[in-house]
Amino acid sequence: MKCTHRANPLNASDGGLYCTLHGSRFDLDGNVVAEPATQPLKKYPVVVNNSLIQISI
Ligand code: FES
């Protein structure tokens, strides 16, 4: 969960993720909604099976 601008850790907020360093914002699909970041977040396949969450990295 790092910003694609300068790799600062992101924080969760209502409906998205934000970077405190320069103000980039991302939606919950990882798309940029506020620059300076221009690249979307990296996505990993997730499978939920009962109480098990499997993330393929
Ligand atoms: S490091 Fe996140 S906006 Fe620059």
pLDDT digits (tens, 9 = 90+) for 15-53: 899 999 999 999 999 999 999 999 999 999 999 999 999
Q: Look at residue 14 and tell me whether its pLDDT is greater than 90.
A: no
Kindly state if the Cβ of 36 falls inside 6 Å of ligand 1. yes
Q: Look at residue 1 and tell me whether its pLDDT is greater than 90.
A: no
pLDDT of residue 26: 98
The answer to whether residue 6 is domain-embedded is: no
The answer to whether residue 26 is domain-embedded is: yes
Domain count, the chain: 1
First-residue to last-residue Cα distance in the chain: 13
The answer to whether residue 4 is domain-embedded is: no
Query: Ligand 1 center to residue 13 CA distance, Å?
Result: 16
Which atom belonging to ligand 1 lies closest to the Cα atom of 37? 3
pLDDT of residue 21: 98
Burial class (CB in 10 A: 0-12, 13-18, 19+), 5: middle
Instruction: Determine the structural domain holding residue 43 and report its residue range.
Output: 11-55
The answer to whether residue 5 is domain-embedded is: no
* Mutational pocket test of ligand 1: of 1, 2, 5, the residue with most ligand atoms within 8 Å of the beta carbon: 5
